[in-house]
Amino acid sequence: MVISRIQQFAAAAAFIVAGLAGCSGGGGGSSGDGGGEPTGPQLTLQVHVDGSGSITSTVAGLGCSGDCSVSLTQGTSFVLNAVPGTGYVFSGWGGACSGTGTCTVTMSAATAVSASFTPGGSSSGKSWFVSATGSDSAAGTLAAPFKTITQAVGVATAGDTIEVRAGTYNEAVVIRTAGTSAARITLRGYGADLPARPVLQRSGTGPTIYFYNDACDEDTIGSGSGNTDCFASWWTVQGLEVRGSTTGGDDGNVIKIDTAKVRIQGNKLCCSVADVVKLVRTANDVEVLDNEIFQSSGVVTPGSNAQGIDIVGANNTRVAGNYVHDVPDFGMYAKGNARSTLFENNLLVNIGRADNGHAIMLGQETDSDRLTDGRYESYDGIVRNNVVVNATWACVATSSSSNVRIYNNSCYNTATAGQGSIFLSNESEVGQAGTGVEIVNNIIYGSGNRPVIKVNADALTDFTTLRISGNIYWTSNGAPTFSLKDTQVPAGQWSTLYNTITGLTDASRVLDPQFATTTGGTPLTLKATSPAINTGVPTALVAKDFLATARPQGGKIDVGAYEY
């Protein structure tokens, strides 16, 4: 990780040097254009451009087409203009400038300016604006915005962007239209208003945002067709704060997705009677990325079936980079013939209640008439590089699933109230035991109350398909207990028990992993003296770590979610 940061810094430095060549002129210029020599202290102006556009300067001749950085003499004063590229509109300044007009800058210190351009103004992609103080009979421009998100959703077509101004929106948004793979439709919080976000919440029953299409209705697709790509939405929802209805009922999700190719990214998704995010079996190829997902009973009291992310039967879901916290139920899970689910690089904190609450799970139980695509609850799922702090039940659980790979996760204070920190069971309504489960290179630091590994006797068809290796086990009480095929043993008898039942050897170790911290935005980082560093089992399955650092570093892959 340390090496990664150096690499990132080096990359940033190289980027700035490259940027100098992209800038023309400059007051006292050092950008290689043969301008005058500096006559005073030099200060750096950094310009960051989002979207397609350029920055020109009326006074100093400064011009950047894209990101750039230039040195300017202290005291230099100049005016910046934002010029949108073809098919884009200027949506506002950031940093030392604000608003959407010209910007006067005086270099009294090192200065950073950003300019945001968004698609619009041409047939290649139009921007629609929504403001809580707008009107649905308006034109939907920045100057004359719509009042409701629903109005904008109704007019947006492929390639369009809906820019929602900060404010409160009380409506249910149903999305039935589609973009294309090359031209998604984006619904997002307006960048110039950040960090203020639009807050969307409905009243009454049902989801607040619902991706729905008649083609995906169960009456249309029938019950025997497995996972069906009934309708590809090609929508992105980004930068919103979305809440469930206080009286939402069984479908009172924050976001429910019936259709394929939906991306939910960088939103704050809070508070629902039902699951916060719900996918059904027609929601293939959905991405849930970088969101904050949580419950808060002060906003909406969660019901008894209110997981963070509930995936039933969808294929190829990628759930990555999310911060899921304070969910008194499962954090995230996939079941009902879910195929190729990927749970990676998520941070989960404070998950579960006394009688329920795995942080991450592949499989569980689904009504048998909904198992339309095979007998296993999940197929080919991967759980890697997740960080889990405080869970009443498992850090990672799996039930009735085929080919489960649990790699390089870090768990702390898990299974405080039930099951084990890693838990394997058979909860299938058709009685299907699991097969092919790999538990490799994880740091499993349990609560001390429960086993770090608990595998029920009926969990697997064939225990020789249970591969456990390269983990580090520990608890707040020191050496943990283990339970395999309903036999519970102390740490000293684990390797013998595992070998007797599986015929395999567990090369894991029982010792303190030496976490540097268990709190903050990157908990469960390691002290430099940690025995987890450079001691993992070689694998090509985990090419990056929790912070996207390439693995391995230092010649060997590490145990747990961080690479050093």
Q: Cβ closer to Ca ion: 307 or 408? A: 307
Q: Cβ closer to Ca ion: 310 or 377? A: 310
Q: Cβ closer to Ca ion: 104 or 305? A: 305
Q: Cβ closer to Ca ion: 173 or 311? A: 311
What distance in Å separates the CA atoms of residue 400 and residue 362, rounded to the nearest whole number? 8
Question: How far apart are CB 552 and Ca ion at their closest, in Å?
Answer: 5
- The full length of the chain comes to 564
Q: Cβ closer to Ca ion: 128 or 330? A: 330
Question: How far apart are CB 211 and Ca ion at their closest, in Å?
Answer: 17
Question: How far apart are CB 526 and Ca ion at their closest, in Å?
Answer: 10
CB neighbourhood size of 517 (10 A): 11
Q: Establish whether the linkage from the previous residue to 195 is cis, with ω within 30° of 0.
A: yes
**Site for Ca ion, rule CB under 5 A:** 275, 305, 307, 310, 534, 552-554, 558
DSSP β-bridge partners for residue 189: 164
What distance in Å separates the CA atoms of residue 294 and residue 332, rounded to the nearest whole number? 11
H or E segment and range at residue 550: none
Question: How far apart are CB 269 and Ca ion at their closest, in Å?
Answer: 15
What distance in Å separates the CA atoms of residue 385 and residue 408, rounded to the nearest whole number? 5
281 touches 227 (CB < 8 A): yes
Phi, psi of 7, deg, nearest 5: -60, -40
Q: Cβ closer to Ca ion: 46 or 392? A: 392
Question: How far apart are CB 496 and Ca ion at their closest, in Å?
Answer: 30
554 touches 534 (CB < 8 A): yes
What distance in Å separates the CA atoms of residue 298 and residue 328, rounded to the nearest whole number? 14
Question: How far apart are CB 334 and Ca ion at their closest, in Å?
Answer: 11
Question: How far apart are CB 535 and Ca ion at their closest, in Å?
Answer: 8
How far CA 263 is from CA of 162, 184, 229, 376, in Å, comes to 15, 10, 16, 26
How far CA 207 is from CA of 203, 204, 326, 517, in Å, comes to 9, 9, 20, 38
351 touches 392 (CB < 8 A): yes
CA 403 to chain centre: 23
Q: Cβ closer to Ca ion: 244 or 266? A: 244
Question: How far apart are CB 274 and Ca ion at their closest, in Å?
Answer: 7
Q: Cβ closer to Ca ion: 241 or 558? A: 558
What distance in Å separates the CA atoms of residue 422 and residue 397, rounded to the nearest whole number? 6
